[in-house]
A and B are shown apart, each in its own frame.
Chain A
Amino acid sequence: MKTASLPTERLRAMLATMLLIRAFEEKAEELYGLGRVHGTMHLSIGQEAVAVGVCEALRPDDYILSTHRGHGHCLAKGADVRRMMAEFLGKETGYCRGRGGSMHIADVEGGNLGANGIVGGGLPIATGVGLSIQVRGSGQVCVAFFGDGAANEGAFHESVNLASIWDLPVVFVCENNQYAMSMPVRQSMRVERVSDRACAYGIPGRTVDGMDVLAVFEAASEAVERARAGGGPTLLECVTYRYRGHSKSDRQRYRTREEVARWRAQDPIERLRRLLEEQGLVQPGEFDALAAAAREQVEEAVRFAEASPEPDPSTLLEDVYA
């Protein structure tokens, strides 16, 4: 793991964002346990380095398309934790006015064109965003996040091909967390790596350690610059792991505790912390203060959300135009 000669402030910011995502999701889990959340949710605890490493390589005006496991992407792209928490709790002050919930949080102004309830659902849309960027000549880039499971949808293959033949400024970021719900990657595809599929579409494919935020950042930067320069799409696979079950109803019969423990030993937040402490970029005790600050930000968001009004049922049909 290398610091890639990044300024200390940026490294600390990446650490802080990972801590914020972790704190948000731990709180989400707690609220769910208390019966305060309607519906389901998908936690990305363990995968924070992918969201943060990729979004760190983006400009504020770049776009992302997210997935059902999208809390991390949304925060890493710069969303307001308070409005996110309000959406999570179905409040009128949430990003989607309580209509979307965890699986549909979108921060359109911030360039997040939405989490998605449909596996692979964002991939074709990303090609259209790429087309728009190309036609407008705006120099932006679009990142499409998706899971290993989504790589088996027809939409994945059709989208990568389209982006390839038109040199669209899209970076396809596969978060390979080893499972699609209960389906292990090794049983759902014969290729060693998801990135091996890039060669079928004549584009670069690369696999990186998705538990190493700096490795993700470095690879994402290269792909983003290539896309921005008109060089077309890249398929970037980040190898990672979700610590929690697929959703709250998962009994996790498809994996062992030992396997989870092995991956947790690679924890992306701990790894960055150790590196920064070894290099003297974070002082002893400072990490705890950063973690506490992240938790306090989330507590503040919960207070905001809880004080916010519920949507009024009389507004059910607002935004229905046909």
Chain B
Amino acid sequence: MTRELSYAEAVREALRQAMEQDPGVVLLGEDIGTYGGAFGVTDGLLEQFGPERVRDTPISEAAITGCAIGAALTGLRPVLEVQFMDFITLCMEQLVLQAAKIRYMFGGKAQVPLVLRTPAGAGTGAAAQHSESLEAWFVHVPGLKVVAPSTPRDAKGLLLASIRDPNPVVFVEHKLLYRTRGPVPEEPYELPLGRAEVKREGTDVTVVATSGMVPRALAAADRLAEEGVSVEVVDPRTLRPLDTDTILASVRKTGRVVVVYEGVKTLGVGAEIAARIAESDALYHLQAPVVRLGGAECPIPYNRNLERAAVPQEEDVVQAVRQVLAA
């Protein structure tokens, strides 16, 4: 049966069902127990599964990342919550130099089935050190999978798939999406990693949008439809491995493309997407240069107006679509 859940509830349901089905799934993180997680995602799980499996940790990001790796190497399936994506910078060595490389370095003799969940993104007025979208850093690392769901349904199915995946996954949740609602099947289900989804079909322009930018792209598409412009919105959902085929198929169809992502524009996820289009035969289908909309080249400022200006908004997507149409 399918009913409406919020994105946060969908993540929680995936955690609960994974823990019910597999006693090896344990949660680690700061304030995930009594507090229920900084964004309330793990609310109630301590009560259901006890402190053995829902572990509140001290503020020791490097150690708890390594702890999750060690547990993953030896039979558990840890899910680590990093309170804000910004703090993943404190996990970097363990994540990038250990978790990502162990299976390969050890000649395939070991696996690290670990999920690191973390909320990213601006829009909450939390300023420069609590608003980062750093997913591109991890997309750059062979040995890490990077997942970034944009709907409750995707969040649940992709998280269950990530937990059951034998390899380390960085699972990026977006703060502004936590309260958004949508249909979610009740039973456990997996959505395959590495598969994009066309969130809206269209014929004139392709908008490839990731994470928190997907609802903005869809809202822009609604507005443009009123002007008679048919926009196709593609959500990669997994950023590494990236489903290039679905993106290219859409570009071949529409011949015009806008790529929207929240991370800083330079070398962000959209840079890779644009490069893959340029490397393929889809290039010959383009009737206008690719337009990238990314985060401004600055830290996220506190002031509300500045903060809005630092991240692509619905209006920016509308303008960008008009720009590729005019070209």
Contacts and interface: CB of A to CB of B under 8 A. Distances in A.
Interface of A: 37-40, 90-91, 96, 98-101, 103-104, 116-121, 149-150, 152-154, 180-183, 187-189, 249-251, 253-254, 310-311, 313, 315-317, 320
Given A98-B303, A317-B297, A38 B125 contact: yes
A313 B129 contact: no
B298 A320 contact: yes
A124 B58 CA distance: 19
Given A39-B127, A117-B130, A316-B296, A90 B34 contact: no
B129 A253 contact: no
A116 B33 CA distance: 25
Contacts of B125: 37-40, 101
A313 B306 CA distance: 5
A203 B302 CA distance: 39
B301 interface: yes
Contact of B302 (A100, A183, A187): A100
B306 A99 contact: yes
A183 B56 contact: yes
A322 B151 CA distance: 35
A99 B62 contact: no
Contact of A152 (B60, B87, B301): B60
A149 B83 CA distance: 14
B105 interface: no
Interface of B: 30-31, 33-36, 38, 56, 58-63, 86-87, 90, 124-130, 296-299, 301-310
B126 A182 contact: no
A316 B301 contact: yes
27 contacts: A38-B307, A40-B126, A98-B301, A99-B302, A99-B306, A103-B126, A103-B130, A117-B129, A118-B86, A118-B90, A149-B58, A150-B59, A152-B58, A153-B60, A154-B60, A181-B30, A181-B31, A181-B35, A182-B34, A187-B56, A188-B59, A249-B38, A250-B35, A313-B306, A316-B301, A317-B298, A320-B297
Contacts of B129: 103-104, 116-118, 121
B127 A101 contact: yes
A249 B119 CA distance: 16
B302 A153 contact: no
A118 B87 contact: yes
Q: What are the 9 tightest A-B residue pairs by CB atom distance, in nearest-first order?
A: A39-B125, A117-B129, A101-B302, A38-B125, A182-B35, A152-B58, A90-B303, A98-B303, A188-B58
A120 B60 CA distance: 10
B87 to A, nearest CB: 7
Contacts of B90: 118, 153
B227 to A, nearest CB: 26
B298 A39 contact: no
A313 B31 contact: no
A125 to B, nearest CB: 13
Contacts of B309: 313, 316
Contacts of B297: 317, 320
Contact of A189 (B38, B58, B61): B58
A236 B83 CA distance: 28
A320 B296 CA distance: 10
Nearest to B305: A313
Contacts of A180: 30, 58-59
Contacts of A96: 302
Contacts of B33: 182
Contacts of A116: 129
Given A117-B130, A118-B87, A313-B306, 10 more contacts: A38-B303, A117-B126, A153-B59, A153-B61, A154-B60, A154-B62, A182-B33, A182-B34, A183-B30, A253-B36
